[in-house]
Structure 1
Amino acid sequence: MDDPDRREQLEQLERRIEALKEKDAPKPHLDNHYSQAQQAWRMVIELVAGLGIGFGMGYGLDYLFGTLPIFLILFTLLGLAAGIKTMMRSAQEIQQAQEAETPKTNAPGKGDE
């Protein structure tokens, strides 16, 4: 066997190895990927922010008008409701994103006999 033939075979082998390595290489993480802990903290922060904003607005109005803590209680409850609504909307967005990523394994009509 000639030396150029052997060199050509080695180059072909190296190309095949590189192609297989690239195929099995791990995919880079996408920017829109969040861990479950990050998602949980996001929802907690949204809830606490709603409570804090409601509390601050209620306290400010009570201080401004010199009233009993009626606005404080009212706006704290409204802030809680707004925080829960925002938290639920975030959970729904996360669920929709996960459903879009996960392919359906059971096609309709298959295995339903």
Structure 2
Amino acid sequence: MSDGPSPDDHASRLKALEDRIKAAKGDEAKHHSEEHYSQAQVAWRMVIELVAGLGIGFGIGYGLDSLFGTLPIFLVLFIFLGFAAGVKTMMRTAREVQERQLAKEAGDNEEAEDA
């Protein structure tokens, strides 16, 4: 005698439930999470670019100060130069993201006009 539904019945019911959930969520939920993940990646990239610029400036400045025995002159100078380079790189990244967004919106508008 059988106590209840078979394991195959459970598996088929679970698969049907997963399909219904996937259909209810649709592609929009995935798109939103992928977009959020992409924005987080861009934010981290920009932070890393700024910190890298500062770190490289610090290293060059400290190295030159150690070499010439003029400890804070080159250090301060190259930290500011590293900061400026980091900000410039961040701005370039922001411009790339903006251009991609504008191109995507233009493509969406063209698709809407064609429909």
Match of 2:93 among 90, 95, 101: 90
> Letter of the aligned partner of 2:68 in structure 1?
F
State how far apart, in whole Å, the 1-side matches of 2:71 and 2:44 are. Answer: 34
Equivalent residue for 2:53?
Answer: 50
Equivalent residue for 1:65?
Answer: 68
Contiguous gaps of at least 5 residues in structure 2: 1-25, 110-115
Residue 35 of structure 1: CA displacement? 1.0
> Letter of the aligned partner of 1:56 in structure 2?
G
> Letter of the aligned partner of 2:90 in structure 1?
M
Residue 98 of structure 1: CA displacement? 0.6
- Which structure has more helix as a fraction of its residues? 2
TM-score by length of 2: 0.61
Number of residue equivalences? 78
State how far apart, in whole Å, the 1-side matches of 2:57 and 2:71 are. Answer: 16
State how far apart, in whole Å, the 1-side matches of 2:91 and 2:71 are. Answer: 32
Equivalent residue for 1:15?
Answer: none
When Rg is computed on C-alpha atoms for both structures, the one with the higher figure is 1
Establish whether residue 74 from structure 1 lines up as the match of residue 77 from structure 2: yes
CA displacement 1:57-90 (0-9 Å, x = unmatched) = 0000000001131000000000000000000010
Displaced runs of 4 or more, over 4 A:
none
Equivalent residue for 1:6?
Answer: none
Contiguous gaps of at least 5 residues in structure 1: 1-24, 106-113
Equivalent residue for 1:102?
Answer: 105
